[in-house]
Amino acid sequence: MNITQGGRDTTSRPVRTRTRNTFITVAVAAIAVVATIGTAAPALAGQPGLNTGGGPSAQANSAIAYAESMWSTSNGGKNPNTYYALGGNGPDAWDCSGLVWKAYLQAGIDLSGGASRPVVGDEYNALKSHMVSRSNAQPGDILFWTSNGSTSGNFLHDGIYLGGGYMVAAAAPGEGVKEQTLWSEPGEELLDVVGRPTGSLTGVGSGGGTVTNSSYVTAAQVNTGKLWSITAKKAATAYDVGVAAGTSPAIAALPGGKYVSAFQAQGGSLWTITSDGAATSFPVGMKAGTSPSIISTAGGGYVVAVQTNTGKLWTITNTKAATAFDIGMKAGTSPSIAAVGSGYVVAVQTTTGDLWSVTNTNAATSFGIGMMAGTSPAITATSNGGYVIAAQTNTGDLWSVTNTKAATSFGVGMKTGTSPAILPISSGGYVIAVQTNTGKLWTITNGKAATAFDIGMEAGTSPSIAAVGSGYVVAVETNTDALWTVTNDNAATAFPVGMKAGTSPAILAQ
């Protein structure tokens, strides 16, 4: 960014359309949701489209209305005169900070911080005592991008949040003023907090100089059949190990910021490999078409759960201490493992098609829930020392069940052959990610608050979810066979990694 003028650095940047790619389009039809639970199907996130209401104050609504009135015809708006120009203050030529400044100035709020012509950093400084967690963003809040996702970096871009994962901003040369989805990429990263010029500061974020961008790492089978990992900043590591066809890796944390990936290798054996390239082959043959699950253990180790080539459930630690459970698993399904108390619990679909769990002490529980053939459960620990399992039932719907057998039906239809992912949240509940029966990604909480993401997923693949900051991030293989992530506030990131068709990524917060 040219800091003296306050526009966005526009060198070597791709044009961002109002939709992020051909498979992210606003769907016409709603997802089929079973009505028996008495909740309507949540609408897919749609573009606001000149919606000037919904902000926390009249000033916020006025600023939105002004910025929207500058929406360039060339990008779907109604103003035929506006265009992007570095340092532009209007009425026709705009850059990002110029539009934000003038939109609020006409509403009676000056974000210049005393500067004669504020740049993005000046507007952040004017709001730094009014920062709110991005997960609590309201229409009218100001979004900021810096070079490293922290306030220690260069401020590059800002815009006015509209809700539903959209903003209005002066985008870049050739794009003008437009509505667009949020994004974050290396060299131009979205802060985890937003500035609130007006209204309540409910949900206050970190603010000041302590803002950091959430970090995560994904593991995936790429389209060459090899294992790769890639971080949120798109730093990729290619491992010279082949992953068995139709299987997916799992990932867990190690001390010192390292991580370990578990996978079924070509040939059918269980392998692990650490982020620094230390590989371990285990004398455990896995069932074709199944994938492992892995958790970290005390002392810097890990334990992996697999369906062996005999069809039985096994676990094995990093020291190769193996436990065989006398539980037969359904062909084509995989276990899920969670650390609970001082031990672990594994959830499986048994040979009868029913959901079971088993602890490291061999205490088994049958839940009396029939699962859809070819799908696997997901399990996570709860704050009360128990656990909750998510599964696609044999009716094709999403259900969850706790260790006390308290079951919840969500009335969300899932795509055939796909499995959910589950994550505990800070409120004490949980959130589940699924591929719905329309092929789109959804998340839903234990309170049945659903979020629909306009992201098409590859048939037969499943999402993975991890906690980042105060929210979460989901990794998917899209219907173009590419790796994407999306956060709970709809900030999507596309990675230049082609995935093997029919496989699913794993994700780990760092």
pLDDT at 156: 95
Condensed to tens digits (0 to 9), the pLDDT of residues 453-484 reads 889 999 999 999 999 877 899 999 999 999 99
Q: How far apart are the first and last CA of the chain?
A: 29
Average pLDDT, the chain: 85
Mean pLDDT within 173-197: 89
Mean pLDDT within 314-342: 97
pLDDT at 487: 86
Q: Is the pLDDT of residue 158 over 80?
A: yes
Q: Is the pLDDT of residue 107 over 90?
A: no
Mean pLDDT within 333-338: 98
Lowest mean pLDDT of 38-52, 122-136, 176-190, name the range.
38-52
Lowest mean pLDDT of 8-22, 91-105, 369-383, name the range.
8-22
Do 148 and 156 form a contact (C-beta atoms < 8 A)?
no
Lowest mean pLDDT of 222-236, 341-355, 484-498, name the range.
484-498
Torsion over CA of 437, 389, 213 and 263, rounded to 10 degrees?
A: -80
How many CA atoms within 13 Å lie on the side-chain side of 192? 22
How many CA atoms within 13 Å lie on the side-chain side of 252? 24
pLDDT at 337: 98
DSSP notation for 421-486: EEEE-TTS-EEEEEEBTTSEEEEEETT--EEEEEEEB-TT---EEEEETTEEEEEEEBTTSEEEEE
Residue 447 CB contacts under 8 Å (≥ 6 apart), including other chains: 429
Lowest mean pLDDT of 48-52, 352-356, 494-498, name the range.
48-52
Q: β-strands 387-392, 378-381: how paired?
A: antiparallel
Do 432 and 444 form a contact (C-beta atoms < 8 A)?
yes
Confidence of residue 37 (pLDDT cuts 50, 70, 90): very low
- Hey, which residues does 59 pair with through a beta bridge? none
Q: Helices marked H in 351-439 — which ranges?
A: none
More confident call, 11 vs 403 = 403
pLDDT at 26: 23
Confidence of residue 2 (pLDDT cuts 50, 70, 90): very low
Q: Is the pLDDT of residue 365 over 90?
A: yes
Q: Which residue in the block uniquely carries the two structure tokens 């299987």?
A: 247
Amino acid in position 23: F
pLDDT at 180: 86
More confident call, 41 vs 282 = 282
